[in-house]
A and B are shown apart, each in its own frame.
Chain A
Amino acid sequence: MRLDRSGRAGVVAALILVCVAAGRMRAAGQWAAPPSSSASSIPASVLLQPEELNHLLQTPAAEKPLIEKPLILQVGSHVLFTQAHIPRAEYAGPGSQDAGAQILRNRVGPLPRKTFIVLYCGCCPWGRCPNVGPAYKLLLDMGFTRVKVLYLADNFGADWVNKGFPVESGH
């Protein structure tokens, strides 16, 4: 089949359109599938809202003895942890750094893989947090099956402290 001049121009235009569309789809795909280290890569099913965690912590053991209190690990900055953290939480090192990952690995290493663990950071807005994603992935890789991540949309101050939920300060 031979195309005339306008036909060839049409084919070229169609090819350009296809390339542009493919490029856009690729870009959209990149947004839809954030890197595995991003907080946005954590499945919604494992996220815990601040109100839920607070309720869990406030429920007296005598009232509901079957409710298991989680091990709460802060995987962000130590300076932020020292200022304020969730009562009973432990500092487990920034998840984005090798040294932090090692602290976390050492802390949870001896624990049964069915231990109920809640991770949180709250250093930055959720989509920008560099710590919770790698920390969550590390626990999954180690075989932990009951890991939840506290969803702090903006930061620990705005989404926990300013809501009046209890905090402790110190190391």
Chain B
Amino acid sequence: MAICRALLVAFLAASVALATAQSAPPAQNLLNKQAPNFTRQDLHGHALRLAAFRGKVVLLNFWATWCAPCQVEMPIFSAWQRQYGPQGFAIIGISMDDDAAAARQLVQRLKLDYPVAMGDARLGMRYGGVLGLPLSFLIDRNGVVRARFQGESDVKVMENQMRELLAEH
């Protein structure tokens, strides 16, 4: 009986250890897979559903107010929205800030003209873990993730890939 109890305790301890000391999913595992759908409210209170963007090439950009490289990219993305929007390009910004007020302030200051919503840990984990910023995904017209850009990326490379996806019909 004592042995059974000891085995049970060991089993429970191992289960707890496995449940807590887990590795996040590999960063690249979303490539060429359907982008996880989500529905959120944007900072203006409008519904924002990724699936509603089907038929467009989407740049999904995770950012935060304390992320300096993010703030370099965002005005460029805004210019792309104006330039390539008529060809079917759309940007969705997801702020990973803890506080929506700070995100709202920055969006106003940078005059971003694309929808921005607040993210959270759950959404981050569905995208393979947003464990460093900036992080962007290029999603094709069929809703498939075609590229992932982590950190300070070369926006020229990003733009070229986006234009290639726009050319696909």
Interface residues of A, Cβ cutoff 8 Å to B: 77-80, 82-84, 87, 94, 96-97, 122-125, 128, 130-131, 154-158, 161-162, 164, 166-169
Chain B hits for A169, CB < 8 A: 22, 24, 121, 125
With A80-B131, A157-B131, A157-B132: A168-B120 Cβ-Cβ less than 8 Å: no
A77 near B96: Cβ-Cβ < 8 Å: yes
Known: A83-B125, A128-B152, A155-B131. 20 other contacts (CB 8 A): A77-B66, A78-B98, A80-B121, A80-B124, A84-B129, A122-B131, A123-B66, A124-B66, A124-B67, A128-B67, A154-B132, A157-B129, A157-B132, A158-B132, A158-B150, A161-B129, A166-B21, A167-B23, A169-B22, A169-B24
Of B22, B121, B133, chain A has the most CB atoms within 10 Å of the CB of B121
For B150, list chain A residues within 8 Å (CB): 154-155, 157-158
B83-121 vs A, Cβ < 8 Å mask (1 yes, 0 no): 000000000000011100000000000000000000111
B residues with a Cβ closer than 8 A to A are 20-24, 26-27, 64, 66-69, 96-98, 119-121, 124-125, 129-133, 150-152
**Interchain CB contact under 8 A, B27 and A157:** yes
Q: Which residues of B contact A94 (CB under 8 A)?
A: 66, 98
Q: Which residue of B lies closest to A82 (CB)?
A: B121
Within 8 Å by CB of B68, from A80, A124, A158, lies A124
B66 touches A157 (CB 8 A): no
Q: Tell me whether B69 and A124 are in contact (CB under 8 A).
A: yes
Q: Are B64 and A122 in contact (CB under 8 A)?
A: no
Q: Judging by beta carbons under 8 Å apart, are B24 and A167 in contact? A: yes
A123 touches B130 (CB 8 A): no
How far does the Cβ of B130 sit from chain A's closest Cβ, in whole Å? 7
**A161 in contact with B68 (CB, 8 Å):** no
A167 CA to B23 CA in the complex, in Å? 6
Can you name 10 A-B residue pairings with CB atoms under 8 Å? A77-B97, A78-B98, A79-B120, A83-B125, A94-B98, A123-B67, A128-B67, A155-B132, A157-B132, A158-B131
Would you call A79 and B96 a contact (CB within 8 A)?
A: yes
Give the nearest-CB partner of A165 in chain B.
B23
Q: Do A161 and B151 form a contact, CB below 8 Å, given A122-B131, A122-B132?
A: no
Residues of chain B lying within 8 A (CB to CB) of residue A162: 26-27
- Chain A residue numbers with a CB within 8 Å of B98 are 77-79, 94
Tell me, rounded to whole Å, the shortest Cβ–Cβ distance linking B135 to chain A: 8
With A124-B132, A156-B132 already in contact, the answer to whether A131 and B23 are too (CB < 8 A) is: no
